[in-house]
Amino acid sequence: MATAVGAGAQSRRWQDIFEERRFLGPLLIAPALIFIALLVGAPLILAVYLSLTDATAGGLTGEWVGFQNYLDAWDDPIFRRALRNTVIFTLVSQAIVLVGAGFLAHALVRDFPGKWFFRFLVILPWATPVALSTVAFLWLFHPLYGVVNWTLTHDIVPGSPAFYPYEALNWAFARDFWPSWIQISPIEPIDPPQWLGEPNLAMAAIIFAHAWRILPFATVIFIAGLASMPPEVEDAAKIDGATGLKKFWYVTLPLQLPIALVALLFGIVFTATDMTVVYILTHGGPFNSTHMLTTWAFDTGINSAALGQGAAISLYLLPALAIVAILMLRFARKAEVT
Amino acid sequence: MGRYRQNITSYLIVGPFAIVLAFPFYWMLITALRADNDLYDIEQVPFKFNADSPTGANFRFLFEQTDYGKWLINTAIIGAAVVLITLVVALPAGYALARLSGKWGQGVGVGIFLTYLVPPTLLFLPLSRVIAELNLHDRLWSMILVYPSFTVPFSIWLLMGFFKTIPPELEDAALVDGASRLGALARVVFPLSVPGILTVVIFSFSLVVNEFVYAITFISSTEAKTISAGVPTELIRGDVFYWGALMAATLIPAIPLALLYNVFLNRFIAGFTGGAFR
């Protein structure tokens, strides 16, 4: 009898905790926080520790070497190249994505017949697992059987005179007045471009494949921003006679800037830290010319088993991530105030 | 007249983008259905079927001669387990951050979201050692354990957004009627948030299907791979390419995922932007 009463009081006390906001809130959040601390926080700290040691794939510990790994990485020309590639990859692909998503979102936020179908087509690259769609790009860029080279070297417009796209490309870009990174050597149909076998072409292919898959995501975020624009603003702009470009520049753009920034910050993180596209398309080749920090860290840390060295290479990404995180935090606070 | 002009402008902008974004899928589909004597004959026009095409041979090859079927099953098992763990951890946290925690809740919410920005490419090296120490190398458990590290922050963020759209008055009414807080949660809030929870399920699952870095780091045996890791590492070997089968392997998960994305897109947008940046 006494025990039953005791148990009753016990469960009563537990129930009280569930009714009390003060306790219930932290109680519900705690599992998530512990989980994240164990699976994100701890490995991150471990990565920093490893980068300061000469640990190899054999164990979790090594001799303390201070910043030697960071200095060694910095002195390596492949690392420098990878760092430069990562910056170019991120900036160029994000520029393409921002402009493209801006246009696309503006067109898709309006209603027009068949919109659902176009939206389905636009979403496809985002929904496809990235490792698999990148394999499809290997096939698109295949030097012998790929559709890109087939189209370049065949008469694709019916009727005469014959029109070969590669001739148009040669006419436009195989000229001396272009800077060296734009100028192309003339394309010969018997020796079509090795898209993934030449450093500059391979970088272009990587940037294209990545922009292709990020564009739908950025578009979706932009559409969200446009959809949340209060209709009164639209009406006010109409009354003031703002239309077309003027409206875009003075009304839509300032209102869109916050959401565009969110999309951009995400894009930067997803691009600078992406490994999949480069790993599958070129694996850093030819001759280590298209490595990113991520693939170089993978090759060093996993394939060459230099755990500490690899950790140091990947941690060069941390300052960029920290800047993005700070911007996002400031941004969220600002959004809260208004 | 103005309406027509607007429609045409829309088509002129969306059309070219749709072609560029969707063309690779047309190319995958036609490749997946072409026979080898058509595919590897450079005299043939690659945009249509020639010789023995179309054929189901590539799909048959994929399921009979490779471990693709096994990888699909592995991916489904890991996906289901990770989604379950994610819901158990993220549902209470998302609810609490939206409702119970007052001022500091917003800060914790943003903090959790920022951990979603810590990428696998920073963590895979230390985690590869941890997985080895735990004897989980080459086992599905390694991925079931680690994948929630990115699905949980992402899902908490989405759920926070969803729960904020449910008016608290509904719960208060239930509380006044004598329900306990957990009772109100189960009977009032949960039914209303089913669409949001489904959205979280779909997008968490697709994050799992997408994951590549951990999958190639933790797993080296063919039998334990997911589709994202198996297709690029096992079906591309030296100079032997099975392009027809590779494209079939890409389309099989892509089409259902794209259909699901379209159904849940509006809810995803609502949750994603409802969290804070508003």
CA torsion sign for A130, A135, A139, A142 is positive
CA A193 vs CA A153, A188, B91, B229: distances in Å: 10, 8, 52, 29
Q: Which of residues 126-185 of A touch B (CB under 8 A)?
A: 126-140, 142, 144-145, 147, 150
A133 contacts on B by Cβ (under 8 Å)? 24, 250, 254
Name the residue in chain A with its Cα closest to that of B46.
A147
Residue B32 lies in a domain: yes
Q: What is the pLDDT of residue B18?
A: 94
pLDDT at residue B8 tops 60: yes
Q: Is the pLDDT assigned to residue A209 strictly greater than 90?
A: yes
Please give the pLDDT value at position A338: 36
Burial class (CB in 10 A: 0-12, 13-18, 19+), A139: buried
Residue A324 CA, chain-centre distance (Å), reads: 13
DSSP per residue, A249-293: IIIIHHHHHHHHHHHHHHHHHHHHT--HHHHHHTTT-STT-S--H
Report the gap between the CA of B225 and the closest CA in chain A (Å).
Answer: 13
Q: What is the pTM of this model?
A: 0.89
Which of these, A51, A85, A88, lies nearest to A300 by C-alpha position? A51
Residue B236 pairs with which residues in a beta bridge?
Answer: B241
pLDDT digits (tens, 9 = 90+) for A316-337: 999 988 888 888 777 765 554 4
Same domain, B45 and B139: no
B250 pLDDT exceeds 90? yes
Mapped onto helix, strand or coil, the DSSP state of residue B240 is strand
Percent of chain B at pLDDT exceeding 90: 49
User: What ipTM does this complex have?
Assistant: 0.89
> A138 contacts in B (CB within 8 Å)?
236
Amino acid (1-letter code) at residue B105: G
Report whether B62 contacts B76 (CB < 8 A). Answer: no
CB contact under 8 A, A302 and B246: no
Domains of chain A plus CATH, in order, are 2-51 (no CATH), 76-143+194-337 (1.10.3720.10)
Report pLDDT for B160: 87
Confidence of residue A11 (pLDDT cuts 50, 70, 90): low
Residue B83 and residue B37 share a domain? no
Q: Which residues of B, range 41-80, sit inside 8 Å of A by Cβ?
A: 42, 46-47
CB contact set of B233 (below 8 Å; sequence gap of 6+): B216, B225
The mean per-residue pLDDT over the stretch A117-123 comes to 92
Confidence of residue B273 (pLDDT cuts 50, 70, 90): low
Do B7 and A328 count as a contact with CB atoms less than 8 A apart?
no
Residue scoring higher pLDDT (A169 or A278): A278
* Same domain assignment for residues B228 and B254: yes
Task: Give the range with max mean pLDDT: A233-237, A296-300, B160-164.
Answer: A296-300
Say yes or no for a CB contact (<8 Å) between B148 and A106: no
Q: Stretch A132-152: mean pLDDT, rounded?
A: 90
B42/B105 same-domain check? no
Average pLDDT (A219-232) is 79
Residue range of the domain that includes B33: 1-55
Please check whether residue A305 is in contact with residue A56, taking contact to mean a CB–CB distance below 8 angstroms: yes
A145-165 pLDDT, tens per residue?
Answer: 888 888 888 877 777 777 788
Q: Answer whether residue B60 is part of any domain.
A: no
Same domain assignment for residues B35 and B171: no
What are phi and psi for residue B99, nearest 5 degrees? Answer: -115, -50
**B108–chain A nearest CA distance, Å:** 9
- Would the CB atoms of B209 and A43 count as touching at under 8 Å? no
Quickly count: other Cβ atoms within 10 Å of residue A18's Cβ: 15
Among A110, A132, A292, CA closest to B246: A132
Question: What is the per-residue pLDDT for A289?
Answer: 92
Do B49 and B25 have their domain in common? yes
Residue B146: is its pLDDT beyond 90?
yes
Between A246 and B93, the more confident residue is B93
Tell me which amino acid residue B2 is.
Answer: G
CA distances from B243 to A281, B73, B82, B90 (A): 15, 22, 31, 40
Joined tokens for residue A103: 């246009």
Rg (CA), chain A: 27
Sort A99 into a burial class: Cβ within 10 Å, 0-12 / 13-18 / 19+. exposed
Same domain for B135 and B14 = no
Give me the mean pLDDT over the B238-254 stretch.
Answer: 86
pLDDT for residue A13: 59
In the predicted structure, residue B278 carries a pLDDT above the cut 90: no
Asked whether residue B27 is domain-assigned, the answer is: yes
Whether residues B35 and B161 share a domain: the answer is no
Would you call B258 an interface residue with chain A, using a CB distance cutoff of 8 Å? yes
B265 Cβ contact partners less than 8 Å away, ≥ 6 residues apart: A119, A123, A220
Mean pLDDT computed over B208-235: 94
CB contact B170 to A (< 8 Å): no
Per-window interface: B 97-116 vs A, CB < 8 A: 97, 100-102, 105-106, 108, 110, 112, 114-115
User: Using CB atoms, which residue from B89, B210, B276 is nearest to A129?
Assistant: B210
Choose the closest CB to B123 out of A47, A275, A279. A47
For residue B228, give the CATH number of its domain: 1.10.3720.10
Distance from CA of A111 to the nearest CA of B (A): 8
Q: Residue B230 has what pLDDT?
A: 94
Phi, psi values for residue B240, rounded to 5°: -90, 110
Tell me which chain A residues have a C-beta less than 8 angstroms from the C-beta of B46.
145, 147, 150
Same domain, B38 and B146: no
Q: Could A29 and B92 be called an inter-chain contact, meaning their C-beta atoms sit closer than 8 Å?
A: yes
> How does the average pLDDT of chain A come out, rounded?
84
Q: Could you give the CA distance from residue A25 to residue B113 in angstroms, rounded to a whole number?
A: 18
- Other CB atoms within 10 Å distance of the CB of residue A162: 11
Residue-wise pLDDT tens digits, A260-276: 787 888 889 889 999 99
Work out how many domains chain B is built from and give that number. 2
- Same domain for B266 and B150? yes
Q: What percent of chain A stands above pLDDT 70?
A: 89
Residue with tokens 């693939």: A295
Region B24-31: what's the mean pLDDT?
Answer: 93
- Answer whether A132 sits within 8 Å of B27, measured CB to CB: no
CA angle A57, A62, A65 (to 5 degrees): 120
- B61 lies in some domain: no
Residue-wise pLDDT for A280-308, tens only, equals: 999 988 889 999 999 999 999 988 889 99
Looking at residue B276, what is its pLDDT? 43
Q: CA B233 to CA B241: how far, in whole Å?
A: 11
Chain centroid offset of residue A287 CA:
24
Among B40, B218, B89, which Cα is nearest to A31's? B89
**Spatial distance between the Cα atoms of B115 and B112, rounded to a whole number of angstroms:** 5
Q: Is the pLDDT of residue A56 over 60?
A: yes
Q: Is residue B231 part of a domain?
A: yes
Across the range A38-49, mean pLDDT stands at: 93
Ramachandran angles phi, psi of B228, nearest 5°? -60, -35
Ranking A27-36, B15-24, B73-82 by mean pLDDT, the lowest is A27-36
Surface of A (240-259) touching B: CB under 8 A: 258-259
For the stretch B113-137, what's the b/e string if a residue is b when 16 or more beta carbons lie within 10 angstroms of its beta carbon?
bbbbbbbbbbbbbbbbbbbbeeebb
Domain membership of residue B62 (yes or no) is no
First to last CA, chain A: 60
Q: Which residue has the tokens 């794209």?
A: B258
Is residue B221 domain-shared with residue B119, that is, in the same domain?
Answer: yes
The answer to the question of residue B41 being in a domain is: yes
- Supply the DSSP symbol for B241: E
| Residue A2 pLDDT | 44
In this structure, are B78 and B42 located in the same domain?
Answer: no
